[in-house]
Structure formats: structure tokens, C-alpha cells
Amino acid sequence: MKQAAPQIAMIEADGLSKYYGPFAAIQDVAFQVSEGEVVAFLGPNGAGKSTTMKLLTGYLSPSAGAARIAGHDMQDDRLAGSARLGYLPENGPLYPDMTPFSLLEFFADARGMTRTKKQERIEAVVELCALGNVIHKPISKLSKGYRQRVGMSQALLHEPDVLILDEPTVGLDPNQIREVRRTMERLREMRKTVLLSTHILQEVEAMASRVILIDEGRLKYDGPVKDLDPDRHGLDAAFARLTKRAG
Amino acid sequence: MAIAQALLIMLLIDLAFLGVLVLLLSPLFLYKHAAYAVLKRNFVGYFSNPTGYVFLCMFVLLSSFAAFWPHEFFTANLANLDQLNLYLPLIMLVFIPAITMSIWSDERRQGTDELLLTLPAGDFDIVIGKYLAAAAIFTASLMFSQISNFTVLLSLAMGDVDLGLFLTTYLGYWLTGLAMLSIGMVSPSASFSGSSSTCRWSS
């Protein structure tokens, strides 16, 4: 991949910690994602992936440290950061009583798009996420795969530079996963900065250029995918080694 | 004829009242996109499923019962809403939570609050949008009850109803409701889900 000359950190976790009472969900997590990078965020269930992502989007406030999107602190200057951020929360939550079209219209209105801009962007994301067939069906009637795509189209609606995707492929069948990969490919071509969490290791090699791995709320690995597994024992073994589970 | 005319006058006054309200709120709609979008979504959403209509009908039915069922209404022989004044707070104690309960807890249950609260809009915008949606739902419901009760009063009193008294009584109901809505929106949002807040309200 071509490297851009000055690297700007589009996503930055700066010593992030989140405590729930005495329990530390994540502790002193620090990393940066530069413009145009696609980074996989790995870790076993309950490692703190979603918490970290919620902190990065400004949904939760950190107990210590700071989260920055495109240089904007997500506590002090959240609105400027959110304007450039597309977020797909875990399990792709959506309003079941709405249709994909009315949902996209709602988010376009909430982001203050003009009428023409709204039409243009809705058409673009419907095309990008292949939603044409279901655009006027209630979301409660859609399959998991379609719902995930609607969530994705919502995240892409306002042409964000930064995307935070929490498990974009969970619960999808192999065809749908391939489709998500294709979308990721197109996002990479558009030079979007993407942080996507997953615990499916095969996806990492297919989609990301770099891996950030956390376990028990602490950063365990941050580097290229190929260095994660130098001895070619397979990603599974590397994952088990780093997360100290018997492999 | 007199009945239709009085009803028409009342509806015109209602319309003028709503017009002034919309005018007062128009700066909000123009500058706070997120608040307006949330207001629209919640208002339409409430009336796009049958539960909304069931609650509306229940409200109109109960308020008519409370106004005209007690024998005091006929003994007093006055075309006013004295009896409803007694019972409306109780009716609203059930009806207001039916509106406000779901307004936050549904978001949390579906996880959609994550989408709302990561929009480039302040918390104030989202909260005011939600509150105005609840207020709009309540206002619409109250108008149905107003039309129904006014028609009954008019037919019982052969068109001779003190319109000023009637409208100010309803203004009082409206303001009571708005105050109760704001309390109702705070309480369930402190709990985790819609069902648990129902339990809280009913116990």
C-alpha cells in the first residue's frame, strides 16, 4: 500500500482507561490509526473491544486518557469529531419499525443534509451496500445480512473519513461475509480510515493491513498482520499465545 | 346548527393555538436538525404501530367516562368539566407513562441510543427532540378527547357551553400533561429496559 507523506492520526487512543467501579474494562490502551489504514481490532470476547470502540466514538466517557477522531477530542469537541465519523455499533442496532429508506432519511435529516444532498447520498449508499430490493420493507422483516448492510449504509451515509465498525461480519453467512469484504475493499480504495473489530481470525488476513490485539483490557499486540505469526503456526496459535489461553 | 358552529369555532381556536406553537418552535426546527429529525421520527413511530392508537382510544374513552358518568354531573346540571377535573390526573398517571416509558428505554433495548448519541448533535438536541415528540403525541391525543367531550357537552346543553371556560380547562390539562411528561421521561431512563420501567410504574 502506498504511504501518504505526512501521517495524520485519524483515530487515536491516548492512554484510554474505563473503570466500572473497581473493575477495569480497559486499562491504559494507546494506539493510533493513520489516514487510509484498515486496522483489525482483535481480542477474545469480553476483552474490551466494544468498550474501546464506544470510548473512541464518544458514546462512553473515559475514566482516564483521551480519544481523538481526526484530531478532535471526543470529550471536549465531540460534535466536530462525530461529523467525520461513521459508526456501526455491535449487533447493528436499528429501528425495527422503520424501512431502510426512512431510516437513512432520518439520519440524513439529523445530520442536517440538504434535500438534494440527501437524495444523492441515499442513492449512493443504497447502491454501495446493495439494498435496492429491500429499501421499502420494514427492518424487522429483514434478514440478519440485510440488517447488517443497512447498518453499514447508515455508517457510510455522510461520507465519513473515519469508520469504526464493531463486528461487521458477525452472524453472516459466507456469501454475506464475502460481500462485506468487497465493501471493505472499496473503502480501502476510497482511502477511508477503518478500525474494525472481529474475533474471526481468517477475516483479519483478508481485510486488514495491521492488527491491534487486546486482552483483559490491555493492549497485547500492535503491528502488521504478518509479524503476528512469524513462525507460520497459523493465526490461531498466535492468538492463543498472546491471549494466554491454552492453544 | 349551533352545535356545528360552536365546534367549528373551537377547532379554529385550536388551530390558531397550534399555529402559534409551531411558529414559536420554528427556530428550533431550522437550526437544530437533529432535534427536528428525532421529533419527527418518534411522532410518526408512535402512530405507526397499533399500540399508539389503542392508548389514544383508551384515553379518549376514559376521559369521556370520567366527565359524564358520575351522577354529580347531572345533579349539578352545569355544562362544565368539573368531574373530569377530579379524575384526569389519575387517567394521566397511566396514559403519560405509556408515552414516555418507551421513548428512552426502547432506544436502549434496541441499542439505537448508540447511533443517536454519536450523531454530531448535542445531548440537548436529542433530549429536546424526544420531549417535543412526547408532547406532540400528548397534544394530539388531548385534542381528540377535547373534540369528543366538547361535542357531548354541546349536545347535552343544546349548544350553550361556555367556550372560554372549556378551552382554559383544556389548557390546564395540557400544561399538567407537559409537566408530567417531563417527569415521566426522566424516571424510566434511569432504569434498564421498558419492561422493568413498566413494573416500576405499575407497582
A58 and B CB contact within 8 Å: yes
Q: What is the ipTM of this complex?
A: 0.84
SS3 of residue A148 by DSSP: helix
How many C-beta neighbours within 10 Å does residue B48 have? 13
CB contact (8 A) between residue A94 and residue B110: yes
Nearest residue on chain A to B120, judged by CA atoms?
Answer: A79
**Cα B142 to Cα B39: distance, rounded to the nearest angstrom:** 18
Nearest residue on chain A to B47, judged by CA atoms?
Answer: A97
- pLDDT at residue A236 in the model: 75
User: What residues of chain B have any CB closer than 8 angstroms to a CB in chain A?
Assistant: 33-34, 36-38, 40-41, 45, 48-49, 110-112, 114-115, 117-122
Contact A82, B120 (CB under 8 A): yes
- pLDDT at residue B199 in the model: 40
CB contact (8 A) between residue A89 and residue B33: no
Q: In tens digits, what is the pLDDT along chain A, a chain of 247 residues?
A: 445 445 678 999 999 999 988 888 999 999 999 998 899 998 888 888 999 999 999 999 999 999 999 989 998 999 999 999 999 998 889 999 899 999 999 999 999 999 999 999 999 999 888 888 899 999 999 988 889 889 999 999 999 999 999 988 887 888 888 888 888 888 888 889 999 998 777 778 878 889 999 988 898 888 888 777 766 667 777 777 777 754 4
The single-letter code of the amino acid at A231 is D
Which residue among B37, B110, B118 sits closest to A82, beta carbon to beta carbon? B118
**Cα B69 to Cα B185: distance, rounded to the nearest angstrom:** 32
- Residue B33: its chain A contacts at CB < 8 A? 109-112
**Cα A86 to Cα A151: distance, rounded to the nearest angstrom:** 10
Q: Taking all residues of chain B, what is their mean pLDDT, rounded to a whole number? A: 86
Domains of chain A in start order, with CATH, are: 1-84+161-247 (3.40.50.300), 92-159 (no CATH)
Cell numbers linked to B80 = 362544565
CB contact (8 A) between residue A111 and residue B33: yes
Which residue among B111, B115, B122 sits closest to A79, beta carbon to beta carbon? B122
- pLDDT at residue A232 in the model: 66
Give the helix ranges, DSSP H, for chain A.
49-57, 78-83, 100-110, 115-128, 144-156, 174-189, 201-207, 225-228, 235-242
Dihedral sign for Cα B124, B125, B127, B133, please.
positive
Contact A240, A201 (CB under 8 A): no
Cell numbers linked to A4 = 501518504
Cell numbers linked to A46 = 469480553
